[in-house]
Structure 1
Amino acid sequence: MTKWLIACAGVLLLGAAHAADAPKFQVDPFWPKPLPNNWIMGAAAGVAVDAQDHVWVVQRPKTLTDDEKAASLSPPRTKCCVAAPPVMEFDQEGNLVKAWGGKGEGYDWPENEHGIYIDQKGFVWLAANGEHDGHILKFTRDGKFVMQIGKQGNQTNSLDTTRLGKPANMTVDAAANEVYVADGYFNHRVIVFDSETGAFKRQWGAYGKPPTDIKLPAYDPSAAPSPQFGNPVHCVRIASDGLVYVCDRMNDRIQVFRKDGTFVKEMFVEKSTLANGSVWDLEIWPDANETFLINADGANNEVRTLSRETGETVDRFGRNGRMAGDFHWVHNLALDSKGNIFTTEVDTGKRAQKFLFKGDMVLKRRTP
């Protein structure tokens, strides 16, 4: 009995130490600054930070109600507002630097805008998860079209390497010139392409097995873990040690792989969450050991700090609400080099927020 008590005390002390070491955050209620040009933001479906610590948001102009975009109607109904362009770049102070996006020559603009990623060369990647979307897009930071991988049309299946299936997000491995895609809202896989040519490289499903589209029962926390990624496969992130982290949102879990798709482990987060799942997005905390994962959960409307090793929750902030620091469907998050967190909200949330890192932890700029 004595040995058991000592062991339990050791576990409690270890957990407390991890919680004490976890980074702390405070909302900045004045970020971003009011938009120019009478613009208003729709559902904010993605956020990313570039090498200059500029913050990029992709939002959905088509989600604005007539009341919200009343100044753009003919005749105008009220003084405000007009839909902002889909892609928006902000500086650290929250000033809008530039905005662009929409239909153009040579590419298929998304029916529904989704994730955004800025690679180490400064290219802007966009995902598309509309009903007929099956592609990702690559642009320069000024909005010049570079490349499209996949195409629009009727959805096919998770073995089709010529197109995607409502992809959610992507990340680029700069050293290997590869783009990893979380695919997606229709398909059930991670798929990898050459980031320069768009050529298919490899793909995998849950547990590193070939992806399947077998119809499975709805998620049940008391049942055995699903052999398949649910919809959506919502994020993919790469740590400096080469481990690949995948958001299996509806199954309330993170699956971890090597870059070749070899399965390493899985970690469940708020396993009892039903609704639309707990693992919406992840970022890797930029200390020397990349100790933590930062997890956005749009069902429970909170941001958590997880142990990267175990998936254990060591801290959290946020709740369902409309005040500064609250969330409604927090959809994505991103970290800058100072450890500040930027979040975006979809559905009727329709906003971006900044949370200031409060601490003296030594951080590093990471390159996947």
Structure 2
Amino acid sequence: MQGSSIRVALLMLALAPFGLQASEPATEKVPEYALDASWPKLPLPNRWALGLINGIHVDANNHLWMFHSPELVPNYARGAAQTPPTGKCCVPAPAIIEFDEQGEVLRAWGGPEQAKGYDWPTAGHGLFVDYKGNIWIGGSQTRVGADGSPPDGMYLKFDPNGKFLLQIGGRGPSKGSLDPSRLSGASAVDVDPETNEAFIADGYGNHRVIVFDADTGEFKRQWGAYGKPPTDEKLPRYDGGPTLPKQFNLVHCIRIANDGLVYVCDRLNNRLQVFRKDGTFLAEYVYEPQTRGSGSVGNVSLWPDAQQTFMVMNDPGNFQTVLIRRADGKVLSRFGHFGTWAGEYHRNHQMEFDRKGNIYTSEDHRVQRLKIVNGVTPR
């Protein structure tokens, strides 16, 4: 299999009404990108420093929301936070930060020390802004940590000012991929505005997509790879050969398109699976099948035109940004390289379009913005 391999034989007639087309579309002009060094405005206020970036998302106002781990700001960068201070730099920033388009901080809140009446994640993972403007975050720790910290089995919902609204699940080890009462290393969520359902990629410990009412937390349904019931069978990761695993390995992203298609990243199996919202399997795309390490399918984000023509995919194992045609999963362009210089990628974790088609990329301790340089914009 070369680059993108598409397993959709015998399915294409069924897929056409759901946005996947059997015919080859006309050649599109694809956006090209360069680093936008103007974003964010630096230095951050209040002598803030960032830990690991757990999640990013762009809201309806084209503001970038960031979730990071204040507790993972290294000790050598905490001098200003000591009593008495041991240096001018720095202070860990609050866990959740909102930036405007120009890169200015608008508000910030959250962190384990502020959690009252709910379980703050031990190892934060994922951030999503729903259609009501609410903020969702999860956690990826699946075992008791070396320091005794508990596993993450929850997803949390807040209003934009940090008021706690809902907890789905709770701390503790997995109860299995069929149990709806606790998550295990849930990595991402998307909320469907048509049904007000929260679709959770559950994820690092369990092997499923699980769906809840986004206001009450009531369990609705769940599924594993190919829409089958999820299992906890210990399966090896994909080896790049012709036979693909029958179960998810690491469910690392979930994204619902305007036409109702649900895209699920199976990161360590180097594939993207496509479903209807009821869990019916439609298609599978495999990318760079020989990739080991962090895998090749980290997350996807949808181009902000009406048809959501393109997707941007984060390829963490190859340190690249990948632009994909959504209609058939074909790779249209790839770019990026490992490194710590501006414009390079170091442990790239997530990539998201904004409302104008620019791309935000998250890594350890930083988010970068890539701007369109060839005039191709959403229409």
TM-score by length of 2: 0.88
Provide the C-alpha distance between the structure 1 equivalents of 2:154 and 2:298, rounded to a whole number of angstroms. 20
What's the CA shift string for 1:35-68, capped at 9, x where partnerless? 1111101111110011111110000112221112
- Partner letter of residue 190 of structure 1? V
In 2: Cα distance, 1:177 partner to 1:16 partner: 33
Q: For 1:23-34, what aligned pairs fall within 5 Å after superposition? A: 23-33=31-41, 34=43
TM-score, with structure 1 as normaliser: 0.90
Distance 2:34 2:376 in 1: 16
Deviation of 1:332 after TM superposition, in Å, equals 1.2
2:214 matched residue in structure 1: 195
> What is the number of residues matched between the two proteins?
346
Q: 1:41 maps to which residue? A: 50
Matches within 5 A, 1:13-92: 18=27, 21-33=29-41, 34-92=43-101
Report matched runs for 1:217-366 at 5 Å.
217-231=236-250, 233-345=251-363, 349-361=364-376, 363=378
The offset of 1:244, in angstroms, is: 0.4
Shift of 1:362: 5.3
For residue 210 of structure 1, give the secondary structure of its aligned residue in structure 2: coil
Equivalent residues of 1:46, 1:333 under 8 A apart = no
Partner of 1:160: 179
After TM superposition, give the deviation of residue 358 of structure 1 in Å.
3.1
Superimposed CA distance per residue, residues 110-148 of structure 1 (whole angstroms, 9 cap, x where no aligned partner): 111110000111111111112411110000100000111
Cα pair distance change 1:201/1:73, threshold 3 Å = same
- The worse-fitting range, judged by mean Cα deviation, of 74-83 and 178-187 is 74-83
DSSP-derived class of the 1:71 partner: helix
For residues 196 and 16 of structure 1, the distance between their equivalents in structure 2, rounded to whole angstroms, comes to: 40
Say whether the 8 Å CA contact 1:287–1:361 is kept in structure 2.
no
C-alpha distance in structure 1 between counterparts of 2:351 and 2:157, whole Å: 20
Counterpart Cα distance in 1 of 2:83 and 2:375: 53
Poorly superposed stretches of 4+, deviation over 6 Å: 14-17
Percent of pairs identical after alignment? 47
Deviation at 1:359, TM superposition (A): 4.4
| CA displacement 1:275-296 (0-9 Å, x = unmatched) | 1211111011122322211101
Deviates more, 1:354-363 or 1:266-275: 354-363
Tell me whether 1:108 sits opposite 2:119 in the alignment. yes
Structure 1 window deviating more from structure 2 (240-249 vs 314-323): it is 314-323
2:226 alignment partner, SS class: helix
Q: Distance in 1 between matches of 2:268 and 2:237?
A: 9
Amino acid in structure 1 at the alignment position of 2:176:
N
Can you list the C-alpha shifts for 1:195-221, whole angstroms capped at 9, x where unaligned? 111100000000000001101123311
Does the 8 Å CA contact 1:269/1:311 hold for their aligned counterparts? no
- Asked whether the 8 Å contact 2:237–2:249 carries over to 1, the reply is no
Report what 2:192 is aligned to.
173
Q: How far apart are 1:99 and its partner, in Å?
A: 0.8
Q: Distance in 2 between matches of 1:203 and 1:218?
A: 22
Aligned partner of 1:128: which letter? G
- Go from structure 1 to structure 2 and tell me whether the alpha carbon gap of 1:16 and 1:148 turns closer, same or farther (over 3 Å shift): closer
Q: What residue is the counterpart of 2:20 in the other structure?
A: none
**1:215 counterpart residue number:** 234
> Could you tell me whether the CA contact under 8 Å between 2:237 and 2:245 is conserved in 1?
no
Task: Give the alignment's Cα RMSD to 1 decimal.
Answer: 1.7
> Using the alignment, how far apart are the partners of 1:320 and 1:200 within structure 2?
41
Question: CA contact under 8 A between 2:237 and 2:269: conserved in structure 1?
Answer: no
Amino acid in the other structure paired with 1:281: N
For the pair 1:121 / 2:136, whether they are aligned, the reply is no
User: By how many angstroms is 1:185 displaced?
Assistant: 0.5
1:93 and 2:102 aligned: yes
Question: Shift in Å at residue 74 of structure 1?
Answer: 4.1
The equivalent residue for 1:150 is 169
